[in-house]
Amino acid sequence: MLKHTRKGNWMEINTPKRWAGKTIEDIFRKDWEVPKKLTHIFRMENKILVNGNKASWSSPLNLGDKVLIKLFEEESLNNTHAFFYDVQVLFEDDHVIVFNKPPFMNTHPNDDTDKDTLLNAAQFYLQSKGEKATIRQVHRLDRDTTGAILFAKHALAGAILDRMLEKHEIKRTYIAIVQGHLRKKKGTIHEPIGRDRHHPTRRRVSPTGQEAITHYQLIKEENSNSYVKCLLETGRTHQIRVHLSHIGHPLLGDILYGGKPILKRQALHAAKLECIHPITGEEIICYAPFIDNPPIFRSIDIYTI
Over its length of 305 residues, how does the chain's per-residue pLDDT go in tens digits?
899 999 999 999 999 999 999 999 999 999 999 999 999 999 999 999 999 999 999 999 999 999 999 999 877 545 567 778 889 999 999 999 999 999 999 998 877 777 789 999 998 998 888 887 888 999 999 999 999 999 999 999 999 999 999 999 999 999 999 999 999 999 999 999 999 998 989 999 999 999 999 999 999 999 999 999 999 999 899 999 999 999 999 999 999 999 999 999 999 999 999 999 999 999 999 999 999 989 999 889 999 98
Is 142 tagged catalytic?
Answer: yes
Per-residue confidence (pLDDT) for residue 134, from 0 to 100: 82
Please give the Cα distance from 55 to 171 (Å, whole number): 35
CATH class for the domain made up of 5-70 = alpha beta
Residues of each domain in the chain carrying CATH 3.30.2350.10: 172-269
Q: Are 117 and 126 in contact (CB under 8 A)?
A: no
Residues of each domain in the chain carrying CATH 3.10.290.10: 5-70
For the entire predicted model, the pTM comes to: 0.92
Per-residue confidence (pLDDT) for residue 77, from 0 to 100: 46
Q: Are 68 and 11 in contact (CB under 8 A)?
A: yes
Q: Which of 93, 112, 142, 292 is catalytic?
A: 142
User: Distance between alpha carbon 273 and the CA centroid of its chain, in Å?
Assistant: 8
CATH class for the domain made up of 172-269 = alpha beta
Give the torsion sign (CA, 27, 29, 35, 39): positive
